[in-house]
Amino acid sequence: MRNATIVAPQPEAVEAGAEILERGGNAIDAALACAFVQGVVDPQMAGIGGFGSMHVYMPKKGVHEILEFYARAPLKAAPDMWLDKIKHQSRDGFGYVLEGNISDIGYLAVCTPGSLKGYETALRDYGTFEWADLIKPAIRLARNGFMIRNHMHWYWAKDQANDGFANTIDKLRFSATGRKTYFDADGMLKNVGDLLVNKDMAQTLERIAQSGGSDIFYHGDLAEQIADDFKANGGLIDREDLARYELSKIKPVWGDYRHNRIATSPPPGSGFPMLELLHIMEQFDVGSLRHGSAEHVRILFEAMKRMTIDKDAHMGDPAYVDVPYERLLSKEHAQAHAHAIKAGEVASVSRLDGSQRDTTHISVIDKDGNAVAMTHTLGSPSGAITDGLGFMYNGTMSRFNPVPGKPGSIAPGKRRPSSAAPTIVFKGDEPSIVIGAPGGSYIAPAVAQCLMNMIDFDMSVLEAVSAPRIVGVSNTIDICNRIRHSVEDELRTQGYQVARSPQTYAFAAVHAIKIEGGVSKGAADPQRDGMAISVA
């Protein structure tokens, strides 16, 4: 490799990771410095109250695995605990709306966080830097402040009433810390360009840095503060949840697309639905289609619906349910789906009676060829912040199915299904693409489309992440505002329901690196505020 590259949705976080690369750190060190900063400068997207997964490839060490630090349901949770509170499922299938939004906002919404243990394990097993050194940039930004960016403010102010979930602005108001941190003295939400300072978070990160690891959070003083706060506010998480939290390592699941070998996340991650979509699309001559044409969109939509139906039927924590992803990824299964699409059969996605999601991503490759694709998140923010600690907890309980007996149903200690698909593509034995995205149920369709853009349409990495996208995770084709109106009209004539997004760049936010001739180039999705930095 002749250079190193890092890309993520937040400029401050990318800069922190790039500085680590410039100082001789590897891809894992850079990703972790970036991740800590993301928790400060995009605190409703990620942080130490969240969870995620890191796809790690280290050729000189013979390492290729996925570090899973997913959130776990509280040990006091029960499969039928909210059966009488169900209202409906979101149209995109990402979550379930309950009476009073009790699984979406407040202390009952929180699953046991895994991020800090994930970061520590990654540094210990793959990294080279000192723990405290990696956290310094995040502490500095939390203490001194940073400017509120456009996408952050858009997300804060976004009206989610159509989905039935609580609005983020109400989550920001939920705690005393939130009201102090995110609002002016007159009660108005801080605006783009305003300085956001979070000294409580700075102090918490300092305590974590000085402690040398994650034990303070899962067994020490922080664990005691967290457990006491949840008890006082009717939450389910206690000291036992934190002390018994476990992460896992697993080999990636593999697929192939037009002679490209693709490694991604197995269940409960959503890499395998992304691969299934690619396997279906491989049965069509995608490159001969006009990108964004009615026929291109129709085939994508029908393939996405079939992927979604399979995912909804089977996705869950494999420690609790059987997820037959080998069968779902078989070429025979893909061929059967493709045959139905070619025959004109229209698939139908069922939802329980009855957008952009809250995640972030990092892609990195260093000069030694070590690669990281890391997706981490709050799932959605809960609004809950323990007084004095500064960070918000995840709101992940709303992503479990409240109906017992389903693959994604609630169970004590269970990992909720994740939409993340951190992915590395290989040509021969060398990485050619490092890719992933935030965006909930839209992640798998968006990542697959960007891969097809590079492989089928020979786009550059910037063209691939910027090209118009669609999603089909319901019975409506969601199109971005750059799909031509004539295409929309033709699809409606064919009998399809079409929803046009007002966003120019819509449906997940793909951040990718493409490697050609030993040179890596990165691209940040224009939907968010990020950037790519290459280090010679």
- The predicted structure's pLDDT at residue 93: 65
Cα Dmax for the chain: 63
Q: Tell me how far apart the alpha carbons of residues 346 and 462 are, in angstroms, rounded to a whole number.
A: 33
What amino acid is encoded at 23 in this protein? R
Asked if the model's pLDDT at residue 331 lies above 90, the reply is yes
Q: How confident is the model at residue 355 (pLDDT cuts 50, 70, 90)?
A: very low
Give the CA angle between residues 421, 87, 80 to the nearest 5°.
Answer: 80
360: its two tokens: 């972030």
List the domain boundaries for the chain: 14-249+374-399, 251-355+420-527
Structure confidence at residue 417 (pLDDT): 84
What integer is the mean pLDDT of 68-81? 97
Q: Which of 5, 121, 168, 359 is catalytic?
A: 359
The average confidence (pLDDT) of the chain is 95
- Give pLDDT, residue 164: 83
Element (H, E) at 146: strand 146-147
State the average pLDDT over residues 517-528.
97
* Nearest residue to 228 via CA among 69, 119, 388, 395: 388
Interatomic CA distance for residues 82 and 387, integer angstroms: 28
pLDDT in tens, 133-153: 999 999 999 999 999 999 999
Which tokens go with 61? 């060490």
Query: Rounded mean pLDDT of 431-448?
Result: 96
Sheet architecture: strand order including 358-365:
248-250, 63-69, 51-58, 371-379, 358-365, 4-8, 531-535
Per-residue pLDDT, averaged over 280-295, amounts to 98
pLDDT at 483 (0 to 100):
98
Binding-site residues for L-glutamate: 418-419, 440
- The pLDDT, as a whole number, for residue 382 is 97
In three-state secondary structure terms, 72 is: strand
Mean pLDDT, range 486-491, rounded to an integer: 98
Q: What is the mean pLDDT of residues 367-372?
A: 98
Q: Is 1.10.4160.10 the CATH number for 251-355+420-527? A: no
Backbone φ and ψ for 119, nearest 5 degrees, come out as -60, -45
Query: Taking phi first (over 0 means left), then psi (-120 to 50 degrees means alpha), and beta for anything else, what does residue 187 get?
Result: left
- What percentage of the chain reaches a pLDDT higher than 70? 98
Q: Are strands 497-500 and 476-479 parallel, antiparallel or unpaired?
A: parallel
Confidence at 400, pLDDT banded by 50, 70, 90: very high
- Measure CA 141 to chain center: 23
pLDDT tens-digit readout, 440-483? 899 999 999 999 999 999 999 999 999 999 999 999 999 999 99
Of the pLDDT bands very low, low, confident and very high (cuts 50, 70, 90), residue 366 is very high
- pLDDT tens-digit readout, 246-260: 999 999 999 999 999
Local confidence band at 95 (pLDDT 50, 70, 90 cut-offs): confident
232 vs 235: CA distance, rounded Å: 8
Query: In the structure encoding, which two tokens stand for residue 23, read together?
Result: 């100082």
Matching residue, tokens 């061929």 = 335
pLDDT, residue 416, reads 86
Which single residue is written with the structure tokens 């949705």? 9
- For 42-65, write each residue's pLDDT tens digit: 999 999 999 999 999 999 999 999
Residues in contact with 193: Cβ distance below 8 Å, sequence separation at least 6, in sequence order: 147, 148
Share of the chain above pLDDT 90, in %: 94
Peptide bond into 268 cis (omega under 30): yes
Concerning whether 359 is annotated as a catalytic residue, the answer is yes
Average pLDDT over residues 25-41: 98
Find all residues with CB under 8 Å of 119, minimum gap 6, and list them.
32, 35, 36, 214
Q: Is the pLDDT of residue 354 over 80?
A: no
> Where is the binding site, in residues?
418-419, 440
User: 154-167: string of b/e by CB count within 10 Å (b at 16+)?
Assistant: bbbeeebeebbbbb
Residue 522: pLDDT over 70: yes
- pLDDT in the model for residue 92: 65
Pick the closest to residue 447 from 403, 389, 508 (CA basis): 508
pLDDT, tens digit, 9 for 90 and up, residues 170-189: 999 999 999 999 999 999 99
CA 329/CA 315 separation, integer angstroms: 13
Nearest CA among 329, 511, 335 for reference residue 420:
511
pLDDT for residue 353 is more than 70? no
pLDDT band, residue 162 (cuts 50/70/90): confident
Q: How much is the average pLDDT of 432-436?
A: 98
